[in-house]
Each structure stands twice: as C-alpha cells, then as structure tokens.
Amino acid sequence: MNNTKPIYVTQPHLPPLEEFYPYLEKIWENKILTNGGPFHQQLERALCEYLGVEHLALFSNGTIALVTALQALRVTGEVITTPYSFVATAHSLLWNGIKPVFVDVDPVTLNLDPAKIEAAITPQTTAIMPVHCYGNPCDVEAIQKIADNYNLRVIYDAAHAFGVQTQNGSVLKYGDLSVLSFHATKVFNTFEGGAIICPDAKTKLRIDQLKNFGFVDELTVVAPGINGKMSEINAAFGMLQLQGVDQAIARRQEIDTMYRRLLKDVKGIHCLDDAGQEVSNYSYFPILVKDGYPLDRDALFEKLKDHLVFARRYFYPLISDFPMYRGLPSANSANLPIANRAAKQVLCLPIYPNLGDDDVERVANLIIGDD
C-alpha cells in the first residue's frame, strides 16, 4: 500500500509527558509507592466527586475488582449474566467457583434483556451480573425489580460506563455494586486500573480489606483477600487524566456525531442507538452490518483492514462460545439468538480523542464505498 497511516480502533489518551513529571517528583520525595498513599486517597475523593457517587475503592484493574466485588457480597451458586461482553465478565465468576448462566440480550441496546431473566432463575441463583455494554445503561429499574422479587444481588460490570448518567444521576449508583475499568483503552485510563462503586462506608471497608490480602490491621487477617491495590503511579496519573477527561469525551461526541451523519443513508449499515441516557461517554462506535449492505461484516472488516483501518469485532466471539463456557446448557446458541446475530453483525469503528475529522471521513468513505 501507499504511505497511508494506519487507524486503530482506539488510541490511549495521554497528556503531555512533562505534565506528569511533578507528580513523579512528589512520589520520589515522599517514597510512598502504594498501600493507599496520598495520590490514591486524592483520586478516590476526586473520582467520587466527578462521578457523583459516595464511596469508591480503587483497584489495580477492572478484572480483580469484579472478582473482589463477588467476594465482598459472598456470591455463590449461579449468576445470571450476558454472553455479549468482554470475557472478563464471566471469568470473574469462574474465579469465584460460580456457574455463569447466560441470558440473551435486548435487540436494541444489546444489554441483558430483563424480560428473559426470570426464566433463568433457579434455587441456586444468587445474583445478576449485567454489563452496561458500550456505556449504554441497562434497564436498571426492571433488573432491580426482578432482583428485589427474588432476593438477588446485582453487580454491574460498568467497565464501559465511566461518567454515564441516566435521568436519576450516575448509572453507577444502581445495583449493589458497580465495577469500572481504567484500562488503557477506556475513556478514562490510569494505564491499568479499576474501581468498585460501593453504597456505604462499611462495604467499602470490607472491599478495601479484601483488596489488601484481607488485612484489617498489622496482625489481623479476616479473609483470603487478594492484592488488588492501585499503585501511587497509576493513581497520580489518574489525577492528571481527570483534568482532561471532559475535553476527551467532548471530542468523542463530535466523532460520534460525524459518523452518524456520514453513515445515515448507507443501506444495511445501522449505527447502534444509545439507550436514551442523559449523559453518554461515547466510548465505542458500534455499527451493525445488516443484510441490505453489499458485504457481510467480516468482508467489510477485511476491506477496512486492507486499507489500514483496524476496526474490531466487539463482541465476537460471544463469551458463551469460548471453550470454558460452551458446554454450559445456557451457552447453547438456540438460547441466545439475539446475541448470536449481533456478534455476526457488529463492528466497532475507530473512536478516540486524537482521531481527526479527515480520519473519520476516510473510515466512513470506505464503508460508503467511495474509496
């Protein structure tokens, strides 16, 4: 090919390097590298304020946070979850010896379909783990109603939902716990990182103990906890990142608007609608490649790749198709028709703050066919 530059599905958002030096100097000065140091404490407070939540426990990454959230609520038996997510959602269940029970997704939002949850509840069911996929909120009210009726816990995998708000404020306040990821590819990143949003100080205390080996004090260990602590370097970087996050989300919104305008008349291409939330984070730009389009999804994916545009098929394969899950009765594709269809049609287009208007046009023109 010519000297066209590659465009990836995402590119981490980074502030100018020199802005990070003063933070590093502080760490070098006080020699506190981890274990709830000053930057860790600052970031927990700053994120509570930014996100509009009361209590938050930082983690080394979102996966350990999910594993710990289940431990904190002593979840056992079976947990109802979605097959249409990143594999860490279900892996967190297996790491706790819990059996995932997959339930199909809603055809519009591609989030867990509340209308199908009740039929999957058994005497062993103890919780529901839905995902706010692409940052679009689940039907939180309907899910809570079912959880209340059957006395189930709800832990949201909110890895994509940083800063998202419904009409009632932060979507992270729903359920018993919500888990965020601050992985490099996310809207807000700390290189690696994550957090659990907790409803009260008592739950946060238990979570803080669990992420620190179960230590309560120097001599007392109350649970087989893990090392899930966020380091001072990651927390300091989070403080810096937080300053630019609104601007980053605003640029994502412009890109989202541009794609929707450019692709609106392309037959067979459907840009996924949001879920009607008050505030979005534009973390992904998923399209569905439907029958009316001249190429199937994989052919379009390959065509883009040939032109150095690296879109991603999130979420294909479905979690229920990976070897450690496909033997489960609920993993049967007949049980998950909507998720299976979406997994065959979806393509996430490049979206990140540094993506230029000309890049968005280049991607859209390849899809339109004017290349």
Ligand X SMILES: Cc1ncc(COP(=O)(O)O)c(C=O)c1O
364, 351 contact by CB (below 8 A): no
Stretch that binds ligand X, among 14-22, 83-91, 238-246, 258-266 (CB under 6 A): 83-91
For residue 198, give Cα distances in angstroms to 56, 125, 156, 175, 234. 6, 22, 11, 10, 21
Q: Any bridge partners for residue 101, and if so which?
A: 80
Q: Which of 86, 188, 259, 301 binds ligand X (CB under 6 A)?
A: 86
With the C-alpha atoms ordered 105, 107, 113, 118, is the resulting torsion angle positive or negative? Answer: negative
Q: Which of 90, 159, 172, 343 binds ligand X (CB under 6 A)?
A: 159
Nearer CB in complex with ligand X: 44/364: 44
Nearer CB in complex with ligand X: 147/159: 159
Residue 61 as a binder of ligand X (CB under 6 A): the answer is yes
Residue 347 as a binder of ligand X (CB under 6 A): the answer is no
Instruction: Give min distance, CB of 5 to ligand X, in A.
Output: 26
Instruction: Give min distance, CB of 181 to ligand X, in A.
Output: 3
* Alpha helices, DSSP H, located in the chain: 21-30, 38-51, 62-72, 88-94, 140-150, 201-210, 232-263, 297-306, 337-345, 357-368
Size of the site for ligand X (CB under 6 A): 14
Nearer CB in complex with ligand X: 101/364: 101
Q: Which of 68, 71, 89, 241 binds ligand X (CB under 6 A)?
A: 89
Nearer CB in complex with ligand X: 283/345: 283
Residue 194 as a binder of ligand X (CB under 6 A): the answer is yes
Written as one letter, the residue type at 229 is K
Number of continuous H segments (helices) and E segments (strands) in the chain: 10, 16
Stretch that binds ligand X, among 60-68, 228-236, 323-331, 360-368 (CB under 6 A): 60-68
CA gap 339, 225 in Å, rounded:
35
* Alpha helices, DSSP H, located in 38-116: 38-51, 62-72, 88-94
Residue 320 as a binder of ligand X (CB under 6 A): the answer is no
Which structure tokens are listed for 332? 């049967």
Nearer CB in complex with ligand X: 114/194: 194
Convert 88-122 to b/e letters by CB count within 10 Å (16 or more is b).
bbbbbbebbebebbbbbbbeebbbbbbebbeebbe
* DSSP code at position 134: G
Instruction: Give min distance, CB of 161 to ligand X, in A.
Output: 9
Q: Which of 44, 78, 104, 157 binds ligand X (CB under 6 A)?
A: 157
Kindly give, in sequence order, each residue whose CB lies less than 8 Å from that of residue 15, ignoring residues fewer than 6 positions away: 240, 241, 243, 244
Written as one letter, the residue type at 230 is M
Kindly give, in sequence order, each residue whose CB lies less than 8 Å from that of residue 108, ignoring residues fewer than 6 positions away: 273, 275
Residue 67 as a binder of ligand X (CB under 6 A): the answer is no
Q: Which residue is nearest to ligand X (CB)?
A: 62
Instruction: Give min distance, CB of 204 to ligand X, in A.
Output: 19
Instruction: Give min distance, CB of 315 to ligand X, in A.
Output: 8
Q: Which of 56, 80, 88, 210 binds ligand X (CB under 6 A)?
A: 88
272, 105 contact by CB (below 8 A): no
Residue 234 as a binder of ligand X (CB under 6 A): the answer is no
Respond yes or no on whether the N-terminal peptide bond of residue 317 is cis (omega within 30° of 0): yes
Residue 131 as a binder of ligand X (CB under 6 A): the answer is yes
Q: Which of 43, 56, 57, 62 binds ligand X (CB under 6 A)?
A: 62
Stretch that binds ligand X, among 85-93, 112-120, 221-229, 336-344 (CB under 6 A): 85-93
Residues near ligand X, by CB under 6 A: 61-63, 85-86, 88-89, 131, 157, 159-160, 181, 183, 194
